[in-house]
Amino acid sequence: MEAIPPPPPRILIVDDDESVRDVISVLLREEGYHCAVASGADMALELAQHEDTPLVISDMKMPGKDGLWLLEAMREQHPDTAVIMLTGYGDTEAAVDCLRRGAVDYLLKPPKLTDLIRSIERALAKRRVELARKRYQKKLERKVRDRTTELRSALKDVSTTYQNTLLALVTALDAREHETSDHSQRVVEYTTAIAHIMAIKGPELDEIGRGALLHDIGKIGVPDAVLLKPGKLTPEEWVEMRKHPDIGFSMIAPIPFLSIPSQIVLSHQERFDGRGYPRGLAREEIHIGARIFSVADTLDAMTSDRPYRKGTTFANAIEEIHRCSGTQFDPQVVKAFLDIGEAGLVKIKEDMVARKKAAAAAKLNAANGGGTNNGEGGAAGGGSTTPPAGSGGIAASAAAPADVTH
């Protein structure tokens, strides 16, 4: 089957002189081109609006809007249309100006047919190349966009996997030290809530959350006899215990992704007044993430049950943290913490318990092959650790917050 030849390209001839328009269009039609004519710039633009116009041949001097105006309008509204200008003798300067403004060629009036045909063919060939280049560029851009989306998705997967791995590690560590395995995750929630009030957001908030999650990772190097000892530690045991920020720091500092969190891990036991450990840093020397964490960790430690004592109420813990503002804790952080308020803090804990219950129920449901579940089953090892109101606990022993975290 013979291929159907493409239709001849449409050429729009613009000249205020009717005879010029007629001569050129007749000559070009004889050469096989499809021609349209316009008597002025406005009419030419109007015609180009409604039909694909690969090429415009325009007179330079026209009453009203001239050829230069049309050239600029075409470049702006139809950048894929090639424009050849027709100029009179003595107009060389204007002709050069046309080329500078994007005309593909200029011819002196009246143009010789051979010159005209050569110029038209050159303009159309140039346009074809330009269109092919644009198509290729678009294709390339689409490819880059697709690849970027794929890469972003892969990076997100890696980041999620990383986060889940850290979570598993921290959960195992929590389970070793605490009765429930939610301590670190709760501390992350309190920490990020305080940081949020302090207008910390974006990557910085993520880094601080990660630091809070990993704060006690160094306890992996603390012997069970020290870590799990109920009651007070001896001075020698304290020496062992106080190594955990350094151990944690040296574990994760070499991982570029955890560079900032490692600073929080290293300084999470420092105190605002410089009486913390391991370096005795004070005030702004302590990473802001660690200063925030310190309040969050104390709140969770005071309000959580331990094998040897009951947790105290949120009201007691808040009061105690307030009392230690400026000594153990950064007053700015305490202010943000107080802004959340008792109800807000209790809600953070309750929401987390609810989320864990829902996740466990969904897991159980999936393991049972679907079906309904009342949401009560499967909260293994979890469950609320909210202390009963007025349970007293450490408040009765007048323990300072510093005594409840290590």
What residues make contact with Fe ion under the rule CB under 5 A? Answer: 216
To the nearest whole angstrom, how small is the minimum distance from the Cβ of residue 201 to Fe ion?
A: 26
To the nearest whole angstrom, how small is the minimum distance from the Cβ of residue 406 to Fe ion?
A: 6
Minimum CB distance to Fe ion smaller for 278 or for 378: 278
Minimum CB distance to Fe ion smaller for 216 or for 270: 216
To the nearest whole angstrom, how small is the minimum distance from the Cβ of residue 318 to Fe ion?
A: 21
DSSP three-state, residue 234: coil
Minimum CB distance to Fe ion smaller for 21 or for 183: 183
Minimum CB distance to Fe ion smaller for 216 or for 305: 216
Cβ contact 190:296 at 8 Å = yes
Cβ contact 211:235 at 8 Å = no
SS3 content of the chain, % helix, strand, coil (to 5): 60, 5, 35
Minimum CB distance to Fe ion smaller for 174 or for 216: 216
**What is the bridge-based pairing of β-strands 34-38 and 10-14?**
parallel
Dihedral sign from CA coordinates of 359, 364, 367, 372? negative
To the nearest whole angstrom, how small is the minimum distance from the Cβ of residue 248 to Fe ion?
A: 8
Q: Which of 31, 216, 5 is nearest to 114 (CA)?
A: 31
Q: How far apart are CA 59 and CA 87, in angstroms?
A: 6
Minimum CB distance to Fe ion smaller for 277 or for 337: 277
Q: Which residue is nearest to Fe ion (CB)?
A: 216
Cβ contact 184:176 at 8 Å = no
To the nearest whole angstrom, how small is the minimum distance from the Cβ of residue 255 to Fe ion?
A: 19
Cβ contact 318:342 at 8 Å = yes
Q: How far apart are CA 41 and CA 39, in angstroms?
A: 7
Q: Which residue is it, tokens 């809007």? A: 65
To the nearest whole angstrom, how small is the minimum distance from the Cβ of residue 405 to Fe ion?
A: 6
